[in-house]
Amino acid sequence: MFAVFDRAGENGRHGHPRANMFDQPELEHLMRTNLKDQSTVTLRGNVEVTDVAQDGHGRVRVDFTDRLTGEHESVLATYVLGCDGANSVVRTAIGATMEDLQFEQRWLVIDVASKVELDQWEGVHQVCDPDRAATYMRIGDTRYRWEFRLLEGETAADFESIEALQPLIGPWVEGIPCDQLELVRVAEYTFRAQLADRWRDRNVFLLGDAAHLTPPFVGQGLCAGVRDSMNLSWKLAGVLCGDLPESVLDTYEEERRPHARALIRLAKLIGVSMTQGGRAGDLLRRLLAPRLHWVPGLRDRLLDGETPPLSRSALVMRPGRRRSLAGKLCPNALLTDGSRYDDVTRGGFVFVTDVPLSPQQRALLADRGTKVLEVRPGSRLYDWLSEGRATAALVRPDFTVMRAGRDVAALCEAMPRFRVAPEGDGRQVSGSYGPARCSPWRDVGEELDGRPQRRH
């Protein structure tokens, strides 16, 4: 064992365990089920998009074929979000191409189901074997995942049964009879690092793997796609409602592309340090890995999961200071009434302040659809403002700080008008974003932190 980075214990800044292992199809099943409950959404499955074309007057035509009936259909849309994966048709349609960030490795991905406990350490095992790098993790109550780098000449066809997999997975399943291990999936993937050269053409956007591909070593592929959609969806809602100018849509690529690039770079670094360098690399790993926890702050950095701040844009006003909160995420802190930041603020802009606002300032923010969150000494958000040398912060609907500082009057003035709120009062059940509507928030000017909320 080279080193152990234990993530157990305290929650991360988002209010949940720092790392979460799950089976992606289960998450996608939940998302599809949730979509069906959204009255504004029509879900069409089993169709294949064949073309996306813009008419030059702000309309996009999407052509698709129903796979069951073979019928060709079209829809007209104002905006199209291309989330169609690595081989994106939408990307081709807007003439974007992938920049190669120089990483390509073939790996075998194995999912096994078993009711027998494997009794392994519950974190992610990164096996830095110079002959064959590997990863192992538990991804559910009875689900286990292995990834092994394929050697020259090997293919998935060489490993199509539990018996054939024994030389690879043997160390983890020692003593467990093969008939207690069900092979759910064995597939070959080529891990790549790529970034689309542009993420937008007028009213068509690229999100997720259509815009970026990363080797999965830091588990940030799907996460990056989720960040894309968090970043873009509220901006689109604001533009469609008429609160935000169309130009804010430019900030999507400005903010997200450098962020995706930084995480791809990190994944490449981890991948290379885990897998490359032959015997010399192995020696270096043996020497360095056990000593990494001596590097001040590195352990926290690795385990905290904080990603780089978003780049400067019209919606991220960063001064030169490194400690500025702008572009960073507001922590999803526990408030003193036991609720979390995202329970009470989701959907709109929030003005987080550690000084009381004047009635005029409250009225101005209320008119712009902003919630006010007054924080008290001793609370997590109070400390967060202090660490960022700020008295107040403007937090966007995607929890990113737009601007922070000590001039409260100037910050109030800088707050954009954004009156899009989730259906209801913003207290949507966790996990559902709710259909957007254009209306002011109903509860304005309340002091959420430490005091009961006023409800109107």
Question: Residue 224 CB, nearest distance to ligand FAD (Å)?
Answer: 7
In angstroms, give the least distance from the CB of 385 to ligand FAD.
Answer: 30
Tallying the residues shown for the chain, one arrives at 456
Structure tokens at 270: 């981890």
Place of tokens 């008429």: 242
Strand 80-82 relative to strand 204-206: parallel, antiparallel, unpaired? Answer: parallel
Q: Are 5 and 401 in contact (CB under 8 A)?
A: no
Of 305 and 435, CB closest to ligand FAD: 305
- Confirm if 126 and 135 have CB atoms less than 8 A apart: yes
CB of 338 to ligand FAD, least distance (A): 30
Distance CA 405, CA 351 (A): 12
According to the 3-state scheme, what is the secondary structure of the chain? CCCCCCCCCCCCCCCCCCCCCCCHHHHHHHHHHHHHCCCCCCCCCCEEEEEEEECCCCCEEEEEEECCCCCEEEEEECCEEECCCCCCHHHHHCCCCEEEEEEEEEEEEEEEECCCCCCCCCCCEEECCCCCCEEEEECCCCEEEEEEECCCCCCHHHHCCHHHHHHHHHHHHCCCCHHHCEEEEEEEEEEEEEEECCCEECCEEECHHHCEECCHHHCCHHHHHHHHHHHHHHHHHHHHHCCCCHHHHHHHHHHHHHHHHHHHHHHHHHHHHHHCCHHHHHHHHHHHHHHHHHCCCHHHHHHHCCCCCCCCECCECCCCCCCCCCCCECCCCECCCCCEHHHHHCCCCEEEECCCCCHHHHHHHHHCCCEEEECCCCCHHHHHHHHCCCCEEEECCCCEEEEEECCHHHHHHHCCCCCEEECCCCCCCCCCCCCEEECCCCCCCCCCCCCCCCCC
Shortest Cβ 137–ligand FAD spacing (Å): 8
Least distance (Å) between residue 208 CB and ligand FAD = 2
CB of 49 or CB of 364, closer to ligand FAD: 49
- Minimal distance, residue 323 CB to ligand FAD, in Å: 29
To the nearest whole angstrom, how small is the minimum distance from the Cβ of residue 45 to ligand FAD? Answer: 9
Closer of 221 and 238 to ligand FAD (Cβ): 221
Residue with the shortest CB distance to ligand FAD: 208
Nearest to residue 380, comparing CAs of 352, 345, 348, 415? 352
Least separation in angstroms between CB 150 and ligand FAD: 12
| Nearer CB in complex with ligand FAD: 38/391 | 38
CB of 402 vs ligand FAD, minimal distance in Å = 26
Q: What is the CA radius of gyration of the chain?
A: 24
**Minimum distance, C-beta of residue 284 to ligand FAD, in the bound complex (Å):** 26
Cβ nearer to ligand FAD, comparing 88 with 353: 88
At closest approach, how far in Å is the CB of 50 from ligand FAD?
7
> Is 396 buried (19+), middle (13-18) or exposed (0-12) by CB count in 10 A?
buried
Question: Footprint of ligand FAD on this chain (CB under 6 A)?
Answer: 24, 48-49, 83-86, 89, 109, 147, 189, 208-210, 216, 219-223, 225
If the CB atoms of residues 225 and 369 are measured against ligand FAD, the closer one turns out to be 225
Shortest Å distance, C-beta 303 to ligand FAD? 16
Which of 39, 46 has the CB closer to ligand FAD? 46
Is-contact 315 255, C-beta < 8 A? Answer: yes
